[in-house]
Amino acid sequence: MSTQCFFEMGFDRAFPPGTRADEVIEKLDADFAAREAESKGATE
């Protein structure tokens, strides 16, 4: 399955096979932190 297939299914990020779990977690942590900061800024 190509990365494009995942994007077409609605995922906003896809990682290649063999990607280390700690790399994924770091990137997702950064995504969640950015979204949280964004939502806090929108409510202020």
Q: What is the mean pLDDT of residues 1-5?
A: 77
Task: Look at the chain and report how many structural domains it folds into.
Answer: 1
Distance between CA atoms of residues 30 and 44, nearest Å? 21
24 in any annotated domain:
yes
Pull the structure tokens for residue 6.
Answer: 């995942």
Residue 30, pLDDT score: 94
Distance between CA atoms of residues 18 and 30, nearest Å? 21
Distance between CA atoms of residues 14 and 39, nearest Å? 24
pLDDT tens digit string along 26-40?
999 999 999 888 888
25 in any annotated domain:
yes
30 in any annotated domain:
yes
Q: What is the mean pLDDT of residues 11-38?
A: 91
Residue 6, pLDDT score: 79
13 in any annotated domain:
no
Question: Which residues constitute the domain of residue 30?
Answer: 18-44
Q: Please, which pLDDT band fits residue 25 given cuts at 50, 70 and 90?
A: very high
